[in-house]
A and B are shown apart, each in its own frame.
Chain A
């Protein structure tokens, strides 16, 4: 066990030495990976910021219930009871028909027109805030309310929720496609880098195999190299986006001030940063592994 650990430690040290021996080539490779990762990362960050901005600033969608005109006080109380007991509802507000009429008179400036009406044309109503603001949850509530007694009409203001959802979904798709393409690029870059290394270390690999090295032993330094390159690339990508955000936030602050708003883009959370680095390292590992497996076959005598 101790020997096994020692072998890995030696191998890791040798990998760093190898990276340091060709500083320019290593830096360029890591830079390419960093840029490749920075692109989908930047997209993703804009998306996440947009999402949280939309959730903060936009009014929560509400469901409005309108009772039938012939509804009695008892009916209204029954509806209110049901709303009170409902677990999916955050809060509700009752708007009596007389109050609604008074509001309309006060706000709309149509007092004369309304006064000329014989009676009050407005029904009693409830305005409901749901706990969960997804389109699906709101529509389920709407359909449920519709089935209640003495309900004339249920109105859900979901158009903008749907639009936002669709836009964010499109954004997510773009991030995913871009991410997949550039992940492939990352694997390809490591694949080629490792292939070149194998070519330059032909003699060493050949001798090692002849005197009894197992394939994992030969693969190990290359796979370490790939993983470290991926990790360094991930960190580079993070730094590129960090720099970009700093620049952008300065400009954005000035712009937002003109509109009297406060707007800053936030970088990745700690856990997202950790997954980015792990993901990049894993891709580097994969590229190296594929490359070594593919290129070691030619050393096999059989």
Chain B
């Protein structure tokens, strides 16, 4: 599903975030990318989601080479993914319902179908009663769940999460872990960049450890 070979990412200024990384992620897997901060976890996720291109090497997503893809084709690769960002990136001038609707508007869903999917996604994360609420009025955990709802509303094949438990207390973190596990159980490939060892202990995923831009285990 996702395959990296000899992938190097060098940022302008010469900083090498990833050095000849090779890895393979199968459909339906749950994979953790772990390592210290600055090890290249976020860069790895960005390369997977076709948000950045590799400096050298090949990144294949569903058989498509992200490095050589035309810029106009990149958005369509990104639609394979549900993305959860470290800072959520919610839109604070829109209510909960409209936030979750955004990916469906972008893809261009039929109105009735879209409304059903938004409700289903909100139900899944337990926010169905808060459709009209603005994101600022939600607690940290609720904001996180809203971000999940937005990530999964278009039923992506792959869910990418960057430090999903970073700002959560442990009770919320447990809840979130269960939610991620439930997606994985229905066939979604889940890739999580984290250094949360408790989460790792609970979910028992395959781990890819990064150290200074290289895969070390």
Q: Which of B49, B75, B81, B91 contacts A214 (CB 8 A)?
A: B75
B81 neighbours in A (Cβ, 8 Å):
212
A4 neighbours in B (Cβ, 8 Å):
108
Q: Which of A77-85, A132-140, A162-170, A203-211 contacts B (4 or more CB under 8 A)?
A: A203-211
Q: How far is the CA of A4 from the CA of B105 in the complex (A)?
A: 11
* Chain A, Cβ-Cβ closest to B90: A207
Q: How far is the CA of A207 from the CA of B51 in the complex (A)?
A: 11
Check if B71 is an interface residue, CB within 8 A of chain A.
yes
Q: Which of A203, A209, A213 contacts B91 (CB 8 A)?
A: A203
Check if B107 is an interface residue, CB within 8 A of chain A.
yes
Cross-chain contact B72 with A212 (CB below 8 angstroms): no
Q: How far is the CB of A215 from chain B (nearest CB, A)?
A: 7
Q: How far is the CA of A42 from the CA of B32 in the complex (A)?
A: 70
A301 neighbours in B (Cβ, 8 Å):
46, 51-53
* Chain A, Cβ-Cβ closest to B46: A301
Q: How far is the CB of B99 from chain A (nearest CB, A)?
A: 9
Cross-chain contact A213 with B52 (CB below 8 angstroms): no
Cross-chain contact A211 with B106 (CB below 8 angstroms): yes
Q: How far is the CA of A4 from the CA of B148 in the complex (A)?
A: 27
B116 neighbours in A (Cβ, 8 Å):
none
Give the number of chain B interface residues (Cβ < 8 Å): 29
Check if B195 is an interface residue, CB within 8 A of chain A.
no
Check if A107 is an interface residue, CB within 8 A of chain B.
no
Cross-chain contact B79 with A3 (CB below 8 angstroms): no
Number of A-B contacts (CB under 8 A): 59
B197 neighbours in A (Cβ, 8 Å):
none
Cross-chain contact B52 with A204 (CB below 8 angstroms): no
Check if A143 is an interface residue, CB within 8 A of chain B.
no
Cross-chain contact B105 with A10 (CB below 8 angstroms): yes
Check if A302 is an interface residue, CB within 8 A of chain B.
yes
A210 neighbours in B (Cβ, 8 Å):
49, 51, 78, 83, 85, 89
Q: How far is the CA of A18 from the CA of B103 in the complex (A)?
A: 21
Check if B171 is an interface residue, CB within 8 A of chain A.
no
Report if A211-B71 is in contact (Cβ < 8 Å); known contacts: A6-B111, A302-B52: no
Report if A212-B106 is in contact (Cβ < 8 Å); known contacts: A204-B91, A207-B91, A300-B71: yes
A224-242: which have CB < 8 Å to B? none
Cross-chain contact A212 with B103 (CB below 8 angstroms): yes
A213 neighbours in B (Cβ, 8 Å):
75, 106
Check if A7 is an interface residue, CB within 8 A of chain B.
yes
* Chain B, Cβ-Cβ closest to A214: B75
Q: How far is the CA of A214 from the CA of B72 in the complex (A)?
A: 7
Cross-chain contact B102 with A207 (CB below 8 angstroms): yes
Check if B110 is an interface residue, CB within 8 A of chain A.
yes
Cross-chain contact B89 with A203 (CB below 8 angstroms): yes
Cross-chain contact B108 with A3 (CB below 8 angstroms): yes
Check if A217 is an interface residue, CB within 8 A of chain B.
yes
B107 neighbours in A (Cβ, 8 Å):
212
Check if B76 is an interface residue, CB within 8 A of chain A.
yes
B82-114: which have CB < 8 Å to A? 83, 85, 89, 91-93, 102-103, 105-111
B49 neighbours in A (Cβ, 8 Å):
210
B52 neighbours in A (Cβ, 8 Å):
301-302
CB 8 Å contact bits of B99-134 with A (1 = contact, 0 = none): 000110111111100000000000000000000000
Q: How far is the CB of A205 from chain B (nearest CB, A)?
A: 10
B14-71: which have CB < 8 Å to A? 46, 49, 51-53, 71
B53 neighbours in A (Cβ, 8 Å):
301-302
Cross-chain contact A211 with B102 (CB below 8 angstroms): yes
A-B contact pairs, 25 of them (CB 8 A): A3-B108, A3-B110, A4-B108, A7-B105, A7-B108, A10-B105, A203-B91, A203-B92, A204-B91, A204-B93, A207-B102, A210-B49, A210-B51, A210-B78, A210-B83, A210-B89, A211-B79, A211-B83, A211-B102, A212-B76, A212-B107, A213-B75, A301-B46, A301-B51, A302-B71
Please report B residues at the A interface, Cβ cutoff 8 Å: 46, 49, 51-53, 71-72, 75-79, 81, 83, 85, 89, 91-93, 102-103, 105-111, 150
